[in-house]
Structure formats: C-alpha cells, structure tokens
Chains A and B, each alone.
Chain A
Amino acid sequence: MKPARVLIVDDSSVMRKIVGRSLRQAGLDVLQVLEASNGSEALTLARENPLDLILSDINMPLMDGLEFVRQLRGIESTHETPVVMITTEAGEAHVVQALSLGASAYIRKPFTPEQIKERVIPLLRG
C-alpha cells in the first residue's frame, strides 16, 4: 500500500487531530494530511490536490458533509476517491443517504482506531 494523501474534514480542530492520529494508529502510512473545517473548504482542497482518501464529518457550518460528497462526486478528478463519513449522526437514514450520495463507508463517533482500520484500509487496498 503506497503512502496516502488524506483530507480530513471536520469543524472541530480537535477531531481533525484525533482522526489523523487514529489513521496512524491504525497503521496507515500517511504521506500528507490536509485539513478543512467545512465542505466548501474541502471542495477547494479536493480540486487542487490529488487525494487517496477523504474522511468527513456531516454536521458542519457553511456546507455539510452530505452536500460535500454530492458535489465531490460531480468532479471528474475526485469521482472515485474513497470518502468515509465520521459522524455522530448514525441513524440508518443518515447512513443510507450518505452512501447513496457516494460515500464509501460510515463510522460513528465515538470511534476507536480499530474501527478506522476496519473501514479505511480495505478502501485503500481496493
């Protein structure tokens, strides 16, 4: 597995740091971590940078994670980039909506590094 370029999207800087740390604890070889605090910022970064993986919250100001995924899938360069939603919104309807919009996997907060490993590593191998 090659070193990954990762974008972490969350309005909480603490959560962005914890997600980044969890990726390393999960054994992911991280080449570069980009951070965005909402979907709009994340779209800009995704357009400008080649990415191997995106992890995104849902509830964020300006543009939420669901709208971010929807618009991301409309961009040719990010059409197939794996996107993992990490959120407190864990109802079945939220999961179905996120997956139907193009999310690749879903992790509920609070999460363990093991859960990150289970959901993320297969996406990078695939």
Chain B
Amino acid sequence: MATTAEPERVRIHLSARAAWPGAHAGDKTTGATQPATPNDWAEELAKATREVFEIMVGTTLTLPAKPRPPFIPDFAAMVGIAGSLCGLVSIRTTTECARSIAARMLGDDEVGVAEAAQDAFGEVCNMIAGSFKGRISGLADGCALSVPTVIFGRDFTLFSLARGEHYEVTFEFEGKLLSVSLDLHG
C-alpha cells in the first residue's frame, strides 16, 4: 500500500464496470449507487467518511483550506476489501488528531491513552470501509472486510501493491487534517 504524492491516473476497475453497467442507476432497495467515474468513487468515500464522523465521533468534517497546508501523517489505519472488488481503505492523520478522535468517541477518562487512539482509529476506518461498500450496489454482499490494522510512528511509507485506481479525500477535523484513501486492485 503506498501513499504517493501524485497518484497515477485513475481508471475504473474492469470487474467493477462489468458488475455495474450504467451510471448512477441507484439500487431501489438499498439506495446504493453504481459509480461510473472517478469522482463518483471519491464522492461515495467522502459520504461514508462524513457519516461515520457525524454519527460515531459527533462532529461534522469540513474541507481544508486551499492550498492545503503541509500535512505529515504519523498515524494510519487500514482495512482490506476482498471479493467482487479488491482493495484497501486507509485513513491517515497525526497522532494528535487520532487522540482527539478517540477523545470525542469516548468522551471520558480514556483521553490520551495510546491504545484507545489506536483502537478508535481502527474502528473508524472499519466503519468507513463498511459504509463505503454498503453505498455501492453489489458490494455489500459481494465483499468482505478484514479486521483493521493500525500503524503509527514517524518515517513510515505505505506502499500499495494494488497498482490500481487511487482515490483520496482530505478533511479537516478540529483544525487537524486527515486523509481517507481507497486503493483498488489493478
């Protein structure tokens, strides 16, 4: 899994196109959509992220100012997707931001405990991945999620072997930046 400064040009996964012909033909039973363009995938990822933060963290994410200020994440969580679509959902931020998220989720004396931040951040990633696949027609039952993995510390690089499409959305949480990515298997 890699986070590159400038991801390769995105393209729609072949199996995804085969599974979901037609653009935005919404699923009448679940409300799930059928993305046809890179913007659609990113938009659904953004919606999933906003939903998780509003319901479970109790905050509304905002978009960062442009140009985006320098951002060096040292805290990451990732959840694998396997099945009719293969890839990885990851979320990256700073340790300070991860602890703030855990504090908002727990709202009590667990603030500052490193394990709580790791646990909370992993669960946030898990819920974003789950919400995302629930929004895409055919993925809810067609894919399984891995248990979350959390990485923290300075000077690490995530390198993806997926070599497929890369979608990324960046938000601001209490003045701190966080990025959510979807890397699809090529």
Contact = CB atoms under 8 A, between A and B. Distances in A.
Q: Is the interface of A mostly helix, strand, loop or mixed?
A: loop
Contacts of B106: 14, 17-18
B56 A18 contact: yes
Given A14-B123, A18-B56, A108 B105 contact: no
Contact of A91 (B105, B122, B134): B134
B55 A91 contact: no
B127 interface: yes
B73 interface: no
Interface residues of A, number: 24
Interface in A52-87: 59-61, 87
Given A88-B145, A110-B51, A14 B127 contact: no
A89 B144 contact: yes
B130 A12 contact: no
Contacts of A15: 123
A48 interface: no
A22 to B, nearest CB: 10
Given A88-B127, A88-B130, A92-B141, A13 B56 contact: no
A41 B142 CA distance: 29
B90 to A, nearest CB: 15
B116 A59 contact: no
A93 B123 CA distance: 22
Contacts of A110: 51-52, 55-56, 127, 131
Contacts, number: 66
B140 A88 contact: no
Contact of A14 (B102, B129, B130, B141): B102
B33 interface: no
Identify which of A17, A110, A112 gathers the most chain B CB atoms within 10 Å of its CB: A110
Nearest to A60: B147
A88 to B, nearest CB: 3
Nearest to A12: B123
A60 B131 CA distance: 18
B116 A14 contact: yes
A59 to B, nearest CB: 6
B126 interface: yes
A109 B134 contact: no
Given A110-B55, A110-B56, A90 B123 contact: no
28 contacts: A11-B147, A12-B119, A12-B120, A13-B116, A13-B119, A14-B110, A14-B116, A14-B119, A14-B123, A18-B56, A18-B105, A59-B145, A59-B146, A59-B147, A88-B130, A88-B145, A90-B130, A91-B141, A94-B140, A108-B134, A109-B126, A109-B127, A109-B130, A110-B52, A110-B55, A110-B56, A110-B127, A111-B55
